[in-house]
Structure formats: structure tokens, C-alpha cells
Amino acid sequence: MASSSPHARTALDTVDRPSWTPIVALSAAMAMLVASEFLPASVLPALAADIGVSEGVAGLAVAATAIAGAITAPSIAVLLPRTDRRTMLVGLLAAGSVANLVVAAAPNFAVLLAGRLLLGVAIAGAWSFAFGAGVHAMGGRERAVSSGVAFGVSLATVVGVPVAAIVGDQIGWRAAFGGAAALTAVTAAGVARALPPVPAHPGAGIGMLREALRHRRLLAGAGCIVLVAFGNFAAYPYIRIATERIDPGATTWLLVAWGVGGVAGTVLAGVVAVRLRLLAALAPTLLGVSLLVAATASTVPVLTAAIVLWGLAFNMVPVATQLWVTRVESERVESAMSLQVTAFQVAITAGSAAGGALLDAYGVRWPFVVGAVAAVAAGLGFALLRIPAR
């Protein structure tokens, strides 16, 4: 038989190698939403002083997004079971932009919390649908999609968090939120253009969620996700306060170091994901170690090492847990993802609230110590849970 023509081979290559534009768009979208979620940690002292609340209370600006997210993640697919997922993602990003504008203009803490609640709806909904939409667009490349979405989280921390800190210091914390609003609107337009239509799963709705909730191993994994996310967010809203305790001048660069570690963690997670059980146990354990070292550090080099390890470990967690829940519950991926997001949001609420209480009562070290214990417990839990082979 004659060999195929160059034109035929080119067409075949195009089919075999789909455009990566959808993953780039989703990664940018998640970067902006996560950067928005973590913005209060970048500007916490100035925000608290301007609004007139303690730094511990101001940390609840992170918890507020999580409260809304915990409610939204399991319910949004139930309320809108047939809506195209691209349309939903674009609408949620638009809501995130509006939420940042509300915070930027907030005259008091109550209005600020309202904006953060709206942001929580946007983040939880986007997390619930981004993975499935990406897999649909990329022909089932789960590891690539998970790593791409997680890379957006790392990008938010390596660029968004320190840039927000600089903008907050030089111009004002309100300008940081205003800039986030504009950039989130841009990513909404990018997703609308780059992502193909993504029809809802035929079984989406309350029935799919009910079946997922009967899966005991999935629920046990969700409990471990709660522990590891609680551990991180008991400490993360107060990272700036912890760094300023040792060297106020190094704060911005230590935030960059956290993000650099995060980029490395995302890449490493994509590699180690072939041994998913190991990855799921390793990431929380390393997180616990990093938090304990950060809590006891007394010099900048030790604190820097702890923060880099912290960023690396925590940014392995989204990749690990996304792949873990979708491996354990492969028939109901959307519901499994919503359960993962709910677990994260519940833990963010509890963690940031507990961390704020510990900070105000005992000082900045205790949120880190408590977070370390919870993270190590999560690692042990994942080590004990078996997952199906592919």
C-alpha cells in the first residue's frame, strides 16, 4: 500500500495532538480565582487596619469564601444539572470579578464579607467543573488536565500573592482587589473563546450525588482532604505575620519562595502521580513537616527552607486529591469533584477560623503547630486507604 500523503499525515497529527489552549485558559482562570481567594493573606495588616478589625478577624475574609464554597460545590450541579459547563464556568468567573470589585469598594467589614461570599460561590463552582471540562476538551488526558489546573494555583502563588503584596504596600490593598477584578474578567473572556461546549453528564443531578455519597472509601478520602486542607489554612492566612516576626524586609521574597516551591510541587506531582497512593500520602506529610519547621524557625534561612517545602508540599495536594477522588469514583467524576471541593472549603473555613483564634490568643506559632498535626494525620490516612488500579 502506498504511504499516506504529507497532507494526510498533517491532518492525522492534528487529531492526535489537540490544542492545549483549553488547559491554558482553565489554568489562567483558576490562577485568578485562587489569587483572589488568597489576596487577604497578602494585604492582611493594611486591610485589617483600614476596615477596623483585628488581624485574626480579618483572616475570616478567607473563611467567608470557603463557607459559600462548601454550600455551592455539592449543590450547583444539582440546581443546574443540564446547563452547559462552559457557560457555567464563564458565568462563575464573571461573578468572581464582581466579587473582587465589591471588596475593593467595601466601606466596612460586612460588605467585604459579602463580596468574599460571592467569590466563594465562584471558586467552588469553577473547581467543580474545571477538571471535567478540561478532560472533555483534551480527550481524557486526566493527568495533564489536573497538572494544568494545579499549575494555575501555583502561578497564583508565585506571581499573584507577592505581586498583590507589592501593590498593596505601594498603592493600597483596594487597588490589589481592583486589579484582580479586571484580570478575572479577562480570563472569563478567554475561557469563553478557548473552551468548546461542554455538555453536562447525562446523569448529573441529585441522583449522581446521592450515589457518590454512599461510597465509603470516597468519604474516607474526603475526611483526609479535610485534614490536610485544615492544616494548611490554619496557617496560610497568617504567613505574612509569621515572616514579619523574623524579618519584615524579607516578606515579599519569602512569598515568592512559597510560590516557587509550589511550581516545583505541581511538576513533581504530575510525575509521581503514576504512584497515586504514594503521592496522596507524601504531600500531606511533607506539608506537616514544613509547618512544624516554620513554627519553630528563628532565622531567615531556616524559614526560607520551610516555606519552599510548604509551597512544594501543598501544591502537590490538588493534583493528588483530584486524581484520587476521580480514580476511586470513576463513574461519577463530577460528584466526586464536588465532594473534594466541599471538603476543601469546609476545611478552609474551619482552619482559618481556628488559626485566627489561635493567633489572637496564643501568637502566630500555634496555628502552624496545629496545622502540622492535622496534615500529618491526613498523610497517614491516605497511606492506609487503598485505591483501584487503573
Q: Any idea which residue has 502540622 for its cell?
A: 372
What predicted TM-score, i.e. pTM, was given to this entire model? 0.74
Report whether 338 contacts 209 (CB < 8 A).
yes
Residue 45: burial class (beta carbons within 10 Å; 0-12, 13-18, 19+): middle
Residue type, 176: A
Domain ranges of the chain: 18-384
pLDDT score for 203: 52
pLDDT at 209: 61
Per-residue pLDDT of the chain (390 residues; tens, 9 = 90+): 444 444 444 444 444 455 788 889 999 999 999 889 878 877 878 888 888 888 777 777 777 787 788 787 777 767 776 788 899 999 999 999 999 999 999 999 889 999 999 998 998 888 878 877 888 888 767 777 877 887 887 777 667 777 887 888 888 889 999 999 999 999 999 999 999 888 876 555 565 566 666 778 888 999 999 999 999 989 987 888 888 888 888 877 888 888 888 888 988 988 888 898 999 999 999 999 999 999 999 899 999 999 999 999 998 998 899 889 888 877 776 777 778 888 887 888 889 889 988 988 888 899 999 999 999 999 999 999 988 766
Instruction: Give the integer Cα–Cα distance in Å for 336 and 156.
Output: 25
Query: What's the grid cell of residue 314?
Result: 501543598
Q: Are 242 and 368 in contact (CB under 8 A)?
A: yes
Cα torsion at 291, 295, 301, 304 (round to 10°)?
Answer: 40
* Stated length of the chain: 390
* CATH of region 18-384, choose from 2.30.30.30, 1.10.10.350, 1.20.1250.20, 3.40.630.30: 1.20.1250.20
Can you tell me the distance from the alpha carbon of 38 to that of 60, in angstroms, rounded to the nearest whole number?
Answer: 11
Dihedral sign computed on CA atoms, order 163, 94, 343, 68:
positive
Q: Which three cell numbers stand for residue 193?
A: 473563546
Residue 140 is predicted with a pLDDT of 65
